[in-house]
Structure 1
Amino acid sequence: MRLSPDPQSSGISLLVLSLTFSFAIARYLFFDTSPVSAQSEACRLPSFRQIDHKLEPQNRYSNDPIAPALACGDLNQDGLPELVVAPAVTSDLPLLTNLRNGAFRVGYFLDVPYRDTVIGDFNSDGRPDIAGLTIFDTVTTLLGDGNGSFLPPNAAGEGRGTSVRRYATTLRATDFNRDGKLDLAVVSTLGNSVSILIGKGTGNFLDPINYEVQQNPHSLAVGDFNGDGASDVATANEYSETVSVLLNDGSGGFRLSHFAAGALPQKVVTGDFNRDGKSDLAIVNRGYNSVTVLRNDGAGSFAFAGRWDLPFTSGPIAVADFNRDGKDDLIIGHQYEGTLTLFLGDGNGSFCSQSRLQIGAASCCPVMDLCAIDVNSDGNVDVLAASESTVSVLLNEAATTPNAAPSITPISGVMAAGSISLTATIATVSDTETPAGSLQVEVTALPPAMTLSDLTNNNGTIRATFVLGCGALIGEQTIGLKVTDAGGLSASTTLKITVAPNSAPILGAYPDVVLGSGNATVSPTAKPSDNGSITSLTAVAQGYSGQLSVNADGVVTITNNGNAGRYLAVITATDNCGAPKIASFNFTIPSTPNVCSAIGFKEAVSVDAGTSPQALASGDVNGDGLPDVVAANRDSNKVTVLLGASEGGVRSLRTAFSYDVGANPRAVTIKDFDRDGRLDLAVVNRGADTVTILHGNGDGSFAVTGSYDCGNKPFSIAVGDFNRDGKADLVIVNDGIGSLAILDGNGDGSFGPPRYLYAGNSPQPALVADLNKDGKDDLVVANYSTNQVTTLLGYGDGSFENPRTFDAGPGWAPSPIALGDLNNDGNLDLVVGKTGFSQISVLLGFGNGSFGFYTAFLGGLEPQSLVVADFDEDGKLDVAVGNYQSNSVTVFQGNGTGNYDTLKGVYFNVGLRPLSLLSGDFNGDNKPDLVIANSGASSLSLLLNGCGER
């Protein structure tokens, strides 16, 4: 398609440069569209008019080989962008002032040998300045007066500028530490690094903090890659054929990861190519003569999305919406001839058109850098292209098309029951100009007795939560919906949902049991659930003088201090509309309960558990009815699976499998994450800042299925269902950034990106439990540096109340914690170990999420692990403590009041440096045993309960 010139254009403008004259020649560009079929309106081609500005070369600084680089910004605050060209093709730096209509003139010269520049307010005076990277690998600033004039370099003082690593090539400006002052990122090609220069707000910078990337980084891009509001960095590393992504912790520190980027990547830019609200990457590959797009998952991880061929060796690249269809496009310059390639985005992560723009005679004008900006305030994004001695202005003359109204499509078949808060996908929205995720959606009409509590737009998918009154709405109901685009146009529709009568909760069946001695727990075949919420869950046994309690999972605890006989336990679950569900089972108390005479364990049995076991988890991973153990091995970056075995009536543990995970695994947990009836693993990798998921095959073997970012220096992990969707979620404690990461489970073994919660200073272990007995998962965390514990009470929708803190008692450095009903009042109590002192504190719970004043007793040397169980089966919970320094376990007998006597602690020798402790019945005698991870001996110690015998 050949475009006709505008006969009204004069095509001439004047550019004054160092007392020599050159002409800016206007001409029209031609698109080579021969390989491209006819385009739809959704992928319409813009037209461009070109004006060239010749820069007369004079003496250059040295033989510096860096190609010209452009910086665009409004230097004189007239609302129009100016242009800085570096490196200086003369002995001075050209600053080109915008004269409108695509014409520029040189407004000022400064004797500075810059390789690259960036425009921003670096001294916080509201006026644009220039930061420049010199050929001497220093950064200096030119402070602006707001009228287009500048002070000499570093007029703010502090000498010759800030030094960076050798052969630094590119810099970008943003506020990395969110203090309101502009900072810089500088990439060093020979130094294989990125330097972060924190701005002082005076035009000067702190000394650089250097981050090693991979080989030969050529360019960098800045964007928010994980949606946390902090600016991150990506570099294109030519020789390693990767991009390095540095995720910002919000204070100016970064965590590094690398992703494959195609052959010889040289340039990288950010854009949202599939309009999902997440910053993707586009990379120019010199090795393929192509452009590669990496799609962002929203958590800062990138995957290959596609590769598109280019006609020539290419270099500069820019992202903008050139045809005003609301979709990101790409324009790429070719280094060995004067052409550009324009890719028009289709909004789905691909491109619907590729066209070439000739900006000069063939092979005359290699394109060295690009800037995409609206030069003449007509609403169209224009292009500025720099070659060795020419700046070409490509004025975009894309037709302005009328804004089209958005569309909204309701989802059919939405069902609800009359007792619930319904959360469902209710509609999809789209628009040709506004990204779907930016469309405004509202509910315009609701039936009586229904209220809207939440409405979200996730890239065009609309989800809502409606609260229905109990029994007030039955049958088909109509809801009004409206969508509005950025231009103010709207569309409306109605959603039909069918409301069924309320049904009773679901409650699984319970088996009949005979109690041997001590406490017993009985679990249902299915945990209580309801399409609304369960507001009451009770357990009673008529005539039984002991205690029965039931937790949110429906697990009934029977305290065996009642009279002998056969009893009927009745469990009742009631939903928020009053509908009950009843289940029952028989339990028998023998006439002579077998209470242990004392606490005692047999001599420890050592079992190989891989290199430096750090943490343990237990569950029946092969479905044979025997408890198995999984150990996280820090030094070998593995997890080891030990299966329970029974040979000749004697049970034991044997090492069966080991699997590679991430660097320095520190914690492990077991749960059925994909709901296939087989237990899976989640392993926290402290050295990699990730959590690895291993799918259980049901026979004790596993397969790694994914890895997810989870913060910085993750320390521990726990599982809960924080949004009550029936899918297991993860909570991971990051003591490196002082936060908890919540990863919402999708129910298929995968997880969403982390959501971060503040939980006090230096959090370490976290436990999940229903602390206030409202049926919703809560959290309790030990705060290592402040000698406190923190609770976060869950709302049941994935969010939590503000943290509450409690004094953890004498000593310092609390780390291990355990929960249990220590005084038999039906409320969960908290046990806290002090690794900085031999103190154990007990905080009795009130059942409302709070804890009382502590009591304390002395444990062993450096208690690193705790577990609560009834080891002597007297109906009162005991406390076992793993002592890291003395290579022992101490067990303290409970008296049912929550008090423990230091002098009555019983010591048992185990292996070297015990670090993790768990309890379970590992020999089938219905008595709780202990397993200890000996981090210094590469073994487990198995302590079998001797019921007083040692």
Structure 2
Amino acid sequence: VADFNGDGWSDVIASDASYNRVHVMLATGSETFAPAVIVDGPEANNGTVGVDIADLDGDGDIDAAFSTWYPAAINILHNDGAGNFTVVDTFTTGPEPRDVAIGDFDGDGRPDIAAACQHYLGPLTDGTVAIHRNLDDAGWEWTTSITMPDGVEPYTYRAVPQFVEWSDVNDDGHLDLLTSSDSSNVLAIHLGDGSGGFTLGQTLGGWWLESGGSDILLADLDGDGNQDLVWGDVDMSKFAVYRNNLGTFEFHQSFASGNYGPLMLAAADFTNDGLIDIATTNNASRTFSIAVNLDGLNFDAALQLRPVEFPEDPILADFTGDGLTDLLLTHAPYLAPGHTMSVYPGLGNAVFDTASLDTPLDSVTSGILHARDINHDGNMDVVNLYGQCLVHMGRGDGTFDEPITSSLVVYLRHVLADFNLDGELDIAWLEGGHPSQIAVSFGDGTGHFGPATRYTDVAEDESIGVGDITGDGAPEIFTGHRYGIFSIHPNLGDGTFGPRRDITITGSPFTPSINAIAVADFDSDGDNDVVASAFGLLLFANPGDGNLPAVPVGASPASASILTPADINLDGHMDLYGRGASAIIYLNPGNGIFKDPMYLTRYDSNARSMVVADADNDGRADVMIGPENSWSQYLFLNRPPVSHNDNHNSTLDECEAPCVGDLTGDFLVNFDDLNVILEGFSTEYDFNDLNLVLEHWNQICN
């Protein structure tokens, strides 16, 4: 984007991936363009991918260079000053060039060209960046080719350069070269010496199996005068932000873009707040996204988390005792035995340290993890269930003791609660069969759980929930089954359970399965109710004595396979996070009948896991989901509502007192309020109301 014809408007030049040509669109106003003019390059078998612009011939007009993928070439376009482009030179470059970047690497005042060459068609050697020096009237000299580094062990895949940029990253007055490669997934930074020599200074990435290195963006995001780095990754649908610390890039955070984005990156202050925001193009959805800069290096976008190669079972809690939420997960090395439990300490604002605190698990397998203080020592412990029953006692520093084993086989569908009211955590789970059984095991507070007591349940179990609906403090167990059967197991007060009550939910043409159960005070009357997912959400409103109605009421049309209660918007009413294709937000107005569900971004598959916790320690419950076909986790931060000042005074709208005469609530007294008076005159309003509007005409509320 640049002003090609000197009329003060920004024009556009775009590459064409199908044909060896570019499209030039001259602006006719601030948001309008003349029809695109096609400028053809030499006949070729493939289109152009990379294009960059600069005054290549020193005549004061912005020219362009674009790549031809095959046969490998770079084409020089001369601009006559009126926005008319002509191909004036074409020269050979390295095999299969993709991106091109223009910059004066040797300090002679003439812009040179770098081309990211993929070496794609064979022989399949490591990709290179070809450097072409501008010799002015003598043309272009291919001075050198820089081989890009392979991936990191054990994924030593060759580099396939995708994007290339020039920038003086270490502030020594010489341009440096940044290259993003696919396959190896390495971003290589070669430091320039100002005379044409380059030395590898830093590499980033290099070993994520599912990564796909894409575009590079350099911008001063935090306002410290240094160009920070943004690196796109289309396969993980994220961009990573690195802070420039005196020429060395330090990882800060990864943020989610749209599906299979960002293929391309751009930066500008889109919100006019003085901070640089980021725009991404999303390949799969053919969309673009704007990530709004919140405070320099943090953006209003979901966080993408994958600190190790094969992470499993993530949970969020304070394992180091500093009051900040940490990230814990287990992982196993590639094609090797053994698991490790790793804690990534929270640094605040949902930023996690890249260095982990590790506890080897040796032969212990990882199941479904829960963070609880089992022994009441103030340190967070980990309960490791599913096919086993292990407790890893926390030391308070992010590491754990050897696991305590109980001789229990805990199944997938389980809950934790104090069933016998002895102050210690117990476990209950569903064991499938015909019929199924509920197993209840009491904990002793030392990490040990005793033999299970079993109760007969209904066959074809699907879900389990827990909560006190009788008001005696002893939680009941609720189970959901196929064929619409919802079962209530009343706690007799001592952790034993009385006769089961079954409620059948009918449906047409199919009888639903009960896929998820949540217990909380959803109708704001002081006692716990039950919400079950079955072709939508159903509310069993508690009349106060625990005798739930036989016929529930519809609470939402959207189903979920996990339901977690939380006061999401801090209005005093219990809302729900749900797991479906992605995370679902059910906001409760206070009566248990939820508003229209809000769906968070889906990343190419159904959600595998869902974790609800206050990740950034702001008092709001956040949600983290893990897609089924990805090793990544996507953390959606629950941010406060955006403030508005629609009347442009010095006070935020939500802080302003009601304004006399303001009948529309827009903090202004104007024709909108007069129309309200006229439409409701003699029924709702009279002359007194009309006089109030006229007396305060054009008033701005303060």
Structure with a larger share of its residues in strand:
1
Larger radius of gyration: 1
The TM-score normalised by the length of structure 2 is 0.45
The structure whose RCO (Cα within 8 Å, separation 6+) is larger is: 1
